[in-house]
Amino acid sequence: MRNHRVLTLIVAIGWCAVVAADAQATQFWVRFLSDAVDVVPGDGYGIAADIGCTLRAAVQEANALPGADTINVLPGTYRLQLQGTDDTAAAGDLDIADHVTIRCDGAEPCILEAGASASTGIDRVFDIGTGSSPPSVRLENLTVRHGKASAGAGITVYNAQVTLAGVLVTGNWATGTSNVAGGGIYFSGSSGWLRLTDSQVVENDLVIRDGQEGQGAGIRVYAGKPVEITGSVIRDNGVGCSGRPEASWVEGSTG
């Protein structure tokens, strides 16, 4: 009976499948590029109304369910379009509050972007660690680009254990009137760690005015948090719109 129900779901919504591997883990297959919210977060399906399984809906569902879930993303370009500010992934960036792996399910690129360009980005792309307890998060073989925020324009990590494996973080802008930091990645909090394996943080910028302070065009790590970088490239990050070219910046790390 359970197999029949899963097969019916696949046929009905076009390969937007959800399979519970066990009571504490769920697999999601994202097959729709649209940016739309989950109809009922926590019901185990991650389906947006009249569309199917979107990336935002899958993230909301993974946040609501216990256990370490996996979101498998079909190659393509996924652009965030729902503007707003919250910590539930219902608008703006993709807030991650629970254990999850988000991976590209194919040989072609999986591009996750907050706008057509960094100048039109609606927010950062990922805000990791918005829940009540530190999550363990793994991003695999993704491109994270065109985010725009005052800190962590591509990815913000707060009290979380985060691994980037084969991830390209590029073309993000940290900009604002104060405390501008982490054009690509910003890592802060009292716990957690950041690991980069076979990844790239390239061509991210701090977009600031002359005389304004900015930190970490590539990666800004607050208060000496542990960072491990293996087989990765961090280059061509800098300060734009100020006339000051900068080398790649990784500031504040202990590893």
Check whether residue 144 and residue 19 sit in a common domain.
no
Q: Containing domain of residue 5, as a range?
A: 1-73
For residues 217 and 207, give the distance between their C-alpha atoms in angstroms, rounded to a whole number.
9
Banded model confidence at residue 209, pLDDT cuts 50, 70, 90 = low
| Residue 8, number of CB atoms within 10 A of its CB | 10
pLDDT of residue 244: 46
| The pLDDT of residue 246 | 45
Residue 53: which of 78, 88, 22, 23 has the closest Cα?
A: 78
Q: How many angstroms separate the CA atoms of 150 and 220, rounded?
A: 12
206-242: b (≥16 Cβ within 10 Å) or e:
bbbeeebebbbbbbbbbeebebebeebebebbbbbeb
Helix (H/G/I), strand (E/B), else coil: 144: strand
* The pLDDT value given to residue 3: 39
Count of structural domains within the chain: 2
Which of 42, 73, 104 corresponds to the end of one domain?
73
Domain boundary among 47, 73, 99: 73
The SS3 of residue 58 is: helix
Among candidate residues 23, 51, 73, the one where a domain is terminated: 73
Positive or negative torsion for Cα 47, 53, 54, 56:
positive
- Report the predicted TM-score, pTM, of the whole model to 2 decimal places: 0.88
The predicted structure's pLDDT at residue 173: 95
User: Do both 168 and 233 map to the same domain?
Assistant: yes
